Amino acid sequence: MEQALDMPYRGLDVMLGASDDVLAFGTRPGVEASLQNTGGLGDDPTFQAASAHFVPGAQQVLYINSGPLLDIVPDVMATFGFMLPPNTVDDGYRAVSLLESASLSLAATDEGVSRIRLAISLADEPRSLPSNQQ
């Protein structure tokens, strides 16, 4: 666990924000855009594709785009590299890159019937670790 504390900081800035209509947790630019109702997820093609699979009339949506996660995979895996076989960082990066997005949407009716949908979008091909991070 001590090694996790030595992981280099790459500017992953997350926050939680809320307004009367929205509760948002994510990266600072994403949360700010959600609260200002400009740019952000509405303009993101990955989110637009995922939203086609939301339950109709969704009252709650949990969504993750794996793109920002790819930035920290090499550091996380290098931190725990003493436990991993060679070439695992690239393999881990390729595995995470296969997940484009995941969402969980929920809706409930006045009669108390709940509908939940989990959708996972996969990339066409895995990406390799950029040469500057190997």
Q: Are 56 and 91 in contact (CB under 8 A)?
A: no
Residue 90 predicted with pLDDT over 80: no
Count helices and strands in the chain by DSSP H and E runs: 4, 5
Q: How many domains does the chain have?
A: 1
Tell which wins on pLDDT, 29 or 3.
29
| Residue 83 reports pLDDT greater than 70 | no
Domain that holds residue 79: 2-133
Confidence of residue 84 (pLDDT cuts 50, 70, 90): low
Q: How many CA atoms lie within 13 A of 101 on its CB side?
A: 20
**Residue 116 binned pLDDT confidence (cut-offs 50, 70, 90):** very high
Nearest Cα residue to 41 out of 18, 69, 22, 63: 63
pLDDT tens per residue across span 4-13: 445 555 556 7
pLDDT at residue number 103: 94
pLDDT digits (tens, 9 = 90+) for 41-70: 778 888 889 999 999 999 999 998 888 778
Cα–Cα distance for residue pair 134/130, rounded to 1 Å: 7
